[in-house]
Structure 1
Amino acid sequence: MKLQELTKPWVAFNYGFLDESAKREMRRRILKAIAVPGYQVPYASREVPIARGWGTGGLQVTLTLLKPTSVVKVIDQGSDDSVNASSIRKFVARVGGAVETEDTTAATIIQSRHRIPEEKLREDQILVLQVPDPEPLRAVQPDLSVAREMHGDADYGQLWLVLYEQLVKSGRIMQGSSYPSMVNGRHVMTPSPIPRWDVPKLNQADHLTILSAGREKRIFAVPPYTSVEPLVFDDVPYRVEDHQDKTCYRSNVTGFFMNELPQEDGSSRYELSDSHFGVKHIRKSEAEPVEIGETWYNNGKMD
């Protein structure tokens, strides 16, 4: 036997870009994260062709889950056509032969930064959330070794104190994105920098959610049909952003999460944050045959 017979032909990159050893490790870490919902599992974050802090964790999960039949959607703060979202989507299609889509209902893998789509996800869909900072205790305990001990003891008293201080000083809880939430009654997680509007979408959801922080080398998950409860006091209910009466100036849709666009005269216009959801409504108003999926919210309120 010759050495040439033991080697494979040279190729520019492995399928899905990551080497098989990296994928095996990621799969093991994902399975552990699913088995212990909300628990931060460390992993060896690999180099990918984007800078750390711009979605490397989410991209590694997507590349690990990738197969030739995958249909991939990438969202950047609700938008499908931003430079970051478009570049990641095209990269995934190039290295894995996956089909690109902007339609939430058509995707099998949805990688997102800072938003969860307005249309409900199904059991056969996987949501991958990019996470810049996975540690909910960092603001109250900068020593990560101590923070992990606090997670082990389910000691979240300092988080409750922070929320109480906000309530006393401002009359309401000021925490916006990354609202700390209890997963499966055991571990508190930071659900990525998604707005409060999106946190209830994770509770008892049909789909699997995987959250990955490439820079911090941590991965955690919310399996299907798992409770995700924002930390709230019994007499102060959880409140989402008050967008019930906001109307998108492009699609005339009301009752969903909006982006505020300040105008020169001091007024504001509003636009649907979920860009393709708005596009669907525009196409539907023009009598095109469009399938719009069921949504979590109706008229600004959770069903």
Structure 2
Amino acid sequence: MSLSDLTRPWRAFSYGFLDASAKREMRRKMIKAVAVPGCQMPYASREVPIARGWGTGGLQVTLTLVTPKSVVKVIDQGADDSVNAASIRRFLTRVSGADATNDTRAATLIQSRHRIPEEKLGADQILILQVPNPEPLRPVEPNMSAARRMHADADYGRLWLTLYEQIVRSGRVMQGASYPSMVNGRHVMSPSPIPRWDVPKLHMADHLTILSAGREKRIFAVPPHTRVEPLVFDDVPYRVEDHAGVTCARSGLTGYFMNEIPQDGGGAAYEVSDSELGAKAIRHAEGGPDETGATWYVNGEMQG
């Protein structure tokens, strides 16, 4: 046998990079995930040209859903211009012919790592969240077979115990990102490493959210108009990060989720995490039109 016997002539990739079989499986699993909100569905995660742990799950979902008419937005912890976001966005446009945008309102597919945009999403938009660890029970039950049985039985007592212990030891719930949340009154999910600030944006939202973990080979979803309720005790209300009185040093925006930037001398400056929201505010301050759409939060308070 020679090397030529093991090769074949070059031919173009399938549209959107993934082959038809992979896309069929992804679509089936997405439909199942929508039908059972918050429940993890296993799938055969394919190889894509980025490393595991850098967004392969979200990328596979986007490659499955993208069409030449799509408008794609990719963000990394709120920023459109990070290396990871720019590289994924460039890859998506090259293999699909879809347009790319930084404007949240103009996008039809929004792939994100660790953040949900501050501007509200509509029914014609799909939010795709990259998930490193989809299993909310892993901190309390490392045996995944046992964790699956606990999900089947809706046995989440250990999660409640963990939250109780945090309150006893620290006086408040210390869970930050990936706050465990009950979906549709049945399954507890780990809503990606989004901050507590972003979890209420999933509750009864108009848009579809698909969460995918390529390394862990799990996909789950939050359909539109579905209840997403963080696990909280009746006498200890859910609290988001206190950024209501913090002002962005670049754009002057106040009342949105901020990144803290250490400064020389021990102080700190703040910059709005949603980079495009800040860019819109700067353009408006310089005399341009107000391009900002309705936002989930106003002055640090979640809107109904």
Note the C-alpha offset of 1:10. 5.3
- Secondary structure at the residue paired with 1:26? helix
Note the C-alpha offset of 1:117. 0.1
Note the C-alpha offset of 1:265. 1.2
Q: 1:90 and 1:290 mapped to 2: Cα distance?
A: 28
- Secondary structure at the residue paired with 1:198? helix
Match of 2:161 in 1: 161
Match of 1:35 in 2: 35
**Deviation readout 1:22-46 (Å, 9 max, x if unpaired):** 0000000000000000000000000
**Deviation readout 1:221-247 (Å, 9 max, x if unpaired):** 000000000000000000000000000
Determine whether 1:259 maps to 2:290: no
1:137-216 correspondence runs (5 A): 137-216=137-216
Note the C-alpha offset of 1:290. 3.9
Q: 2:251 and 2:282 mapped to 1: Cα distance?
A: 5
Match of 1:132 in 2: 132
Match of 1:279 in 2: 279
Q: 1:58 and 1:290 mapped to 2: Cα distance?
A: 31
- Secondary structure at the residue paired with 2:129? strand
Q: 1:114 and 1:11 mapped to 2: Cα distance?
A: 36
1:90-101 correspondence runs (5 A): 90-101=90-101
Match of 2:68 in 1: 68
Note the C-alpha offset of 1:291. 1.7
- Secondary structure at the residue paired with 1:295? coil
- Secondary structure at the residue paired with 2:172? coil
- Secondary structure at the residue paired with 1:91? helix
Determine whether 1:288 maps to 2:250: no
After TM superposition, the score normalised by the length of structure 2 is 0.96
Note the C-alpha offset of 1:12. 2.8
Paired amino acid for 1:265: G
Q: 1:131 and 1:113 mapped to 2: Cα distance?
A: 8
Paired amino acid for 1:106: A
Match of 2:301 in 1: 301
**Deviation readout 1:99-140 (Å, 9 max, x if unpaired):** 011100000000000000000000000000000000000000
1:103-118 correspondence runs (5 A): 103-118=103-118
Identity, in percent, stands at 75
Note the C-alpha offset of 1:267. 0.8
The runs of 4+ residues in structure 1 deviating greater than 2 Å are 9-12
Match of 1:223 in 2: 223
Q: 1:218 and 1:290 mapped to 2: Cα distance?
A: 40
- Gapped regions of structure 1 (runs ≥ 5): 1-8
Match of 2:240 in 1: 240
Q: 1:138 and 1:253 mapped to 2: Cα distance?
A: 38
Q: 1:206 and 1:51 mapped to 2: Cα distance?
A: 32
Q: How many residues align?
A: 295
Q: 1:209 and 1:11 mapped to 2: Cα distance?
A: 34
Note the C-alpha offset of 1:289. 2.2
After TM superposition, the score normalised by the length of structure 1 is 0.97
Q: 1:242 and 1:93 mapped to 2: Cα distance?
A: 37
